[in-house]
Amino acid sequence: MKNDTSIKNWLKEFHLDHPLVIAGPCSAETEEQVLKIAHELKNTDTSVMRAGIWKPRTRPGNFEGVGAIGLEWLKKAKEETGLKIATEVANKTHVDLALKADVDVLWVGARSTVSPFIVQEIADALKGTDKVVLIKNPVNPDLALWLGAVERFYNADIRNLGVIHRGFSTYEKIKYRNNPEWQIAVELQKNFPDLPLIVDPSHIAGNRDLVFDICQTALDLNYDGIMVETHHTPNKAWSDAAQQITPEMLDQMTKDLRIRNKSG
Stretch of residues binding ligand PEP (CB under 6 A), selected from 108-116, 117-125, 207-215, 216-224: 108-116
Q: Is 240 in the site for Mn ion (CB under 5 A)?
A: yes
3-state helix, strand, coil in the chain (%, to 5): 45, 15, 40
The C-alpha atoms of residue 113 and residue 58 are separated, in whole angstroms, by 14
The C-alpha atoms of residue 4 and residue 94 are separated, in whole angstroms, by 27
Question: Given the complex with ligand PEP, which of 81 and 244 has the nearer CB atom?
Answer: 244
Q: Is 177 in the site for ligand PEP (CB under 6 A)?
A: no
Q: How far is CA 224 from the centre of its chain?
A: 12
Stretch of residues binding ligand PEP (CB under 6 A), selected from 3-11, 107-115, 218-226, 253-261: 107-115
Beta-carbon count within 10 A of 155 CB: 11
C-alpha atoms less than 13 angstroms from C-alpha of 27 in its C-beta half-sphere: 21
- Asked if residues 172 and 142 have their Cβ atoms less than 8 Å apart, the reply is no
Q: Residue 110 binds which entry of Mn ion, ligand PEP, none, with Cβ cut-offs from 5 to 8 Å by kind?
A: ligand PEP
- Asked if residues 1 and 192 have their Cβ atoms less than 8 Å apart, the reply is yes
Residue of this chain nearest to ligand PEP (CB atom): 109
Interactions with ligand PEP, residue window 129-148 (CB under 6 A): 136
Q: Residue 166 binds which entry of Mn ion, ligand PEP, none, with Cβ cut-offs from 5 to 8 Å by kind?
A: ligand PEP
Which residues would be at the binding site for Mn ion (CB under 5 A)?
26, 240
Which residues would be at the binding site for ligand PEP (CB under 6 A)?
26, 52, 56, 109-111, 136, 166, 203
